[in-house]
A = this chain, B = another copy of it.
């Protein structure tokens, strides 16, 4: 009898907890008696170049597992690589399965977002058609929370927690500086088509903080005249105005707001425009229209890699779904993604479920219209109630010489 090996890869944009899922895969695979746990480097793209490591050469102890859980961004390296349709290029699939056979892989676990689930779907379809025995399982990961069928995605809670905490700090910063003169601060948050993270700025609304004044999600066309008029009204009441906008807000004619300032030129492999400059554009616009001081704050890549502000709920769920994927593969499932089911709200409890990946791939979950107020410039209490349990609890970094320590790949 041959080896029982398993391989895991990471794909798409980084999160604070993508390595907690990797840790969950590794630990569960060892516990369930897999012989070797391989990690593909830079996802399926590196795998095609036969770039992989035996994870036992990287993770030596439970301490390493804990350090891995506190390390942001893909430990194994990520990729944005879309497999061709099966009928378009059989050779690439033959190559992949050739390597899988050579490594005696029983299960292939892929941690990623929408685009990565497309990879799981194609590989599991190919395996079924060609009679290969390998199992293909997806583990959800994205700060954007835009995956269908899962209550939420690992990575979202930690990004939301960082955004909530940083928004509180930005609000305090601005309040301290506004006495006689007004200042408008525009905070730009990630989320191309889904406003989950932008809405998370509302978490800053607490006992001792007013939170943002206006929140604009990409789900609803952005009316720049209504926006200007709202700002003018707010300036009658207060000196410091805080606005949160998604990087992906669009005008009614479909153009991104950031395109107005010349952004949006770069297009990635999946045809997504790279968005920057929405807050800067709006800050300049308001400065010119109103003549007051404005400021643009982009949370930029910090929001997806700030493992020093990770949510304990998120870290634990990321670990859980990694482990659940291994268990599912070991029990014979394939072509499926693990999901998080919300079992109860108060106390918050969740469990791992499993769904057919054909129902998930390339299907974006956006914020429902009814979770925005009527004028579409703030989120509702339902939105907050949904998100609040996901930011609870801390997972403090291991501090070495004053800074968070990470586990990194030894080559």
Q: Which residues of A contact B (CB under 8 A)?
A: 10, 13-14, 41-42, 45-46, 71-75, 77-80, 161, 164-166, 168-170, 172-177, 179-180, 203-204, 206-209, 266, 276-277, 280, 287, 293, 295-302, 304-309, 311, 388, 391-394, 396, 399-408
Smallest Cβ distance from A298 to chain B, in angstroms?
Answer: 6
> Which residues on B sit within 8 Å (CB–CB) of A391?
402-403
Q: Which 7 A-B pairs have the closest CB atoms?
A: A391-B402, A42-B179, A73-B176, A74-B176, A73-B172, A169-B305, A173-B305
**Set B164, B293, B399: member contacting A402, Cβ < 8 A:** B164
- Asked whether, in the complex, the Cβ of A402 is within 8 Å of the Cβ of B169, the reply is no
> Which residues on B sit within 8 Å (CB–CB) of A209?
406, 408
15 cross-chain CB contacts under 8 A? A13-B177, A42-B179, A45-B180, A73-B177, A164-B402, A206-B401, A276-B296, A280-B280, A296-B300, A297-B300, A297-B302, A302-B302, A393-B402, A394-B399, A396-B396
A174 to B206 CA separation, bound complex (whole angstroms): 34
A304 to B27 CA separation, bound complex (whole angstroms): 39
Q: Number of copies of this chain in the oligomer?
A: 2
By DSSP majority rule, is chain A's interface helix, strand, loop, or mixed?
mixed
A79 in contact with B402 given A14-B173, A305-B170 (CB within 8 Å): no
Smallest Cβ distance from A68 to chain B, in angstroms?
Answer: 12
Smallest Cβ distance from A163 to chain B, in angstroms?
Answer: 10
A309 to B307 CA separation, bound complex (whole angstroms): 12
